[in-house]
Amino acid sequence: MIDVQKIRQDFPILQRQVNGKPLVYFDNAATSQTPQVVINTIVDYYTNYNANIHRGVHSLSQEATDAYELARHKVQTHFNAKHAHEVILTSGTTHSINIVATGFTSLLQKGDEIIVSAMEHHSNIVPWQMLCERTGAVLKVIPMNQEGTLIMEEYDTLLSNKTKLVFVNHVSNALGTINPIREIIKKAHALDAAVLIDGAQASPHIKADVQELDVDFYVVSAHKLCGPTGVGMLYGKESWLNKLPPYQGGGEMIDQVTFEKTTYAGLPHKFEAGTPNICGGIAFGAALDYMNNIGFDAIAAYEAELLEYATQKLLKIDGLKIYGTAQEKTAVISFNIGTIHPYDIGTIVDKLGIAVRTGHHCAQPIMDFYKIPGTVRASFAFYNTKEEIDLMIDALQKAAMMLG
């Protein structure tokens, strides 16, 4: 089980004060905090073996290369990819999705259909709209109901032999809904359509097994699971990664270059043009080690307790409405109090040391669906406590009194 007080010692930022109050950090769905072991990994890299990788014969370069490739191996093991070269280290989820969406340009034809869900982050919408503009493919949307659950019967009717690709998030960052990705993948595969799962919001809570899911692409950002910003994963099945053209040209991604013709490197380097975020990649590996030491089952069980506790307490606040009440959800709560603007609530609770997110959470279609400008979003991690939730409830009551 989780020893939360011990875990909190691992996160130096949790000791600080904000506006004279102890920090209560409930913006974990936007980015997670960083444990000391990951900070140490970053300091160690720049202190002791900072060098460019893969090209150098000198010792520092070899040390950095070994550490970077070890990190790739850790990512591979964590997500259970069959091959290390199926793990492309990118700058994050957005970059990963753009690699796939751009790569599909040559694989789609006018009139082909691609399917998204109604509860996506903008980074899993816009690159595909751009793909449609380039190819004449048509974007279809799986609708959701008031609870924030996808209407799977509608998915069935959207699927056809025109369907080439389906891309859905594993967990919605705005609502917390855990989507039925197994079923989504299975039904798409029955029609030979490829599936990309945006795992950015699921990865801090659920350990995905890409082989067991039989998913074609799975993408995450390290900064949502205790790692640094600017690094992430594109997992792709070998067969798909071989089919897709490179995304960027440059160093590292080539085999032979002449002015007449260039041949590309094999996987994973074909998709890793230029000097990567070497330190970030190594720190990503350290972050996965840290979280696996705690254990994802323990994390999920503890966060479910926080979610239940916070939900019950929040619902006692007069006029408070929660958006996203799916049966299966992670520890994300989006809400509004009466007609008070979320931004005003966020500003007042910040004065009391409480960090929540306000706005559309990069998911404007969800806000349009509920006909609201945005929500206040509290999102929890395994280092949060019930006492912190109590502090938030007090702060929200104060805000409601001042603004209501």
Ligand X SMILES: *Cc1c(COP(=O)(O)O)cnc(C)c1O
- Select from 102, 124, 177, 277 the one that contacts ligand X (CB under 6 A): 124
Stretch that binds ligand X, among 13-21, 92-100, 209-217, 349-357 (CB under 6 A): 92-100
92 makes contact with ligand X (CB under 6 A)? yes
Residue type, 402: M
216 makes contact with ligand X (CB under 6 A)? no
Min CB(332)–ligand X separation in Å:
9
Q: Checking DSSP bridges between strand 375-379 and strand 357-359, what pairing results, if any?
A: antiparallel
- Select from 32, 33, 34, 123 the one that contacts ligand X (CB under 6 A): 123
Query: In terms of CB distance, is 33 or 221 closer to ligand X?
Result: 221
Min CB(103)–ligand X separation in Å:
17
- Distance between CA atoms of residues 245 and 247, nearest Å: 6
* Structure tokens given for 36: 């000391």
- Select from 27, 86, 112, 198 the one that contacts ligand X (CB under 6 A): 198
Min CB(190)–ligand X separation in Å:
25
Min CB(283)–ligand X separation in Å:
15
The sign of the dihedral angle between the CA atoms of 387, 392, 397, 398 is positive
Q: How many residues bind ligand X (CB under 6 A)?
A: 13
DSSP letters, 94-155, are: HHHHHHHHHHGGGG--TT-EEEEETT--GGGTHHHHHHHHHH--EEEEE-B-TTS-B-HHHH
Rounded to an integer, what is the distance from CA 338 to the centroid of its chain?
30
121 makes contact with ligand X (CB under 6 A)? yes
Q: Mask 15-54, x = binds ligand X (CB under 6 A)?
A: ----------------------------------------
Stretch that binds ligand X, among 121-129, 182-190, 291-299, 377-385 (CB under 6 A): 121-129
Stretch that binds ligand X, among 45-53, 86-94, 130-138, 152-160 (CB under 6 A): 86-94
173 makes contact with ligand X (CB under 6 A)? yes
169 makes contact with ligand X (CB under 6 A)? yes
Considering only CA atoms, which of 124, 117, 146, 171 is closest in space to residue 329?
Answer: 171
Query: In terms of CB distance, is 228 or 342 closer to ligand X?
Result: 228
- Select from 200, 288, 320, 349 the one that contacts ligand X (CB under 6 A): 200
Query: In terms of CB distance, is 135 or 173 closer to ligand X?
Result: 173
- DSSP conformational letter for 44: H
* Structure tokens given for 340: 């008070």
- Distance between CA atoms of residues 32 and 94, nearest Å: 17
SS3 26: coil
* Other beta carbons less than 10 A from residue 123's beta carbon: 21
Whether 97 contacts 126, CB under 8 Å: no
221 makes contact with ligand X (CB under 6 A)? yes
Query: In terms of CB distance, is 376 or 395 closer to ligand X?
Result: 376
Alpha helices of 31-92 — where are they, by DSSP H?
A: 36-44, 59-79
201 makes contact with ligand X (CB under 6 A)? yes
SS3 7: helix
**Which residues are catalytically annotated?**
362
379 makes contact with ligand X (CB under 6 A)? no
135 makes contact with ligand X (CB under 6 A)? no
* Structure tokens given for 145: 């109901």
336 makes contact with ligand X (CB under 6 A)? no
Stretch that binds ligand X, among 198-206, 280-288, 294-302, 387-395 (CB under 6 A): 198-206
| Residue 268: cis peptide before it, omega within 30 degrees of 0 | yes
What residue has token string 């409405």?
321
- Select from 34, 93, 149, 177 the one that contacts ligand X (CB under 6 A): 93
Considering only CA atoms, which of 94, 147, 151 is closest in space to residue 122?
Answer: 94
Query: In terms of CB distance, is 175 or 337 closer to ligand X?
Result: 175
- DSSP conformational letter for 263: E
Query: In terms of CB distance, is 83 or 182 closer to ligand X?
Result: 182
- Distance between CA atoms of residues 77 and 82, nearest Å: 9
| Residues near ligand X (CB under 6 A) | 92-94, 121, 123-124, 169, 173, 198, 200-201, 221, 224
